[in-house]
Amino acid sequence: MDYRAILAARRVFLEAVAPVWFDENATTLFSDDEPGRETFDLTLKYARPTRWFHSRFRDELFAAARRRSEHAVAWLLVGALNEEDGYALDAIIDGLLGDTAALASAANEMAFLVQSSEADNPHLAIAVEFWRALLEADRRVVPADAMRSSGRWAFVTGLANEVWSQLTIQTLELTGGTIDLPIEVADRSKTEHTSGNSTRILLLLLLGQGEPWERDYVARAAIETLRAATQRPVDENFQRLRTRLIELGHHEAAEIRPDEDRDGDSPHARRD
């Protein structure tokens, strides 16, 4: 490891013990040439973000994110979560304009950063607003394919199920039913028995693409959800999900009908 790599890895220490020297030499250390970019990438990999670094190297962070440097996207999002100047949510999206891979990484990384956050954590509110902003963006700015990586939100337990399900439905409608971590999305959707959101999510998942074992898991989750849903009034999503399962060869779904339908079949329920 040469001296530049050592300085990059110890950047936070140098900021603390030699701030004037480091401020004067930072431009040379992280110069806009191949060695400088390599050193910049090393500090992303081995150090941690600081307010000084965010204020000094915003443009360089965006450039690093676009060249797929490890942790670059995460550092941009940390700036947004900490409400650093220049890191507003729309600035992050505009800075990654049209870069499907970088935006997909951002969609996934933001969920990861707040995965353990409590419901009242202000970072969670900012992160959810970022998800909304990605969904509402012009598709020339945020291509639909970038939203496929939003499946990690299924792990964010601090986010209310109702909000999660609504945003997941919007995501799946945008991506044609394709999303990362479909098994985890299906598992979380099963907790939404009190509304038609669970059947809508599972229907969209079964309309999308995925590995055979993922589709089989989602189908089994859908059958379980349909059975639970018969205890309440059903909607169009219930019927469409049931039809989709039958189309896919899960014929046991044909036996799952709302309680009122079964009552109607009973001789005791008939009227002359």
Which pLDDT value is given to residue 195?
Answer: 67
pLDDT tens-place string over residues 41-93: 999 999 999 999 999 999 999 999 999 999 999 999 999 999 999 999 999 99
Which pLDDT value is given to residue 19?
Answer: 87
Q: Following DSSP, what letter does each residue of 107-149 receive, concatenated?
A: HHHHHHHTTT--TT-HHHHHHHHHHHHHHHS-TTTS-GGGGGG
The mean pLDDT of the chain is 90
Q: Where are the domains of the chain?
A: 160-272
pTM of the model: 0.89
Task: Round to whole Å and give the CA distance between 13 and 23.
Answer: 13
pLDDT at 173 over 60: yes
Which pLDDT value is given to residue 254?
Answer: 93
Structure tokens at 227: 């059975």
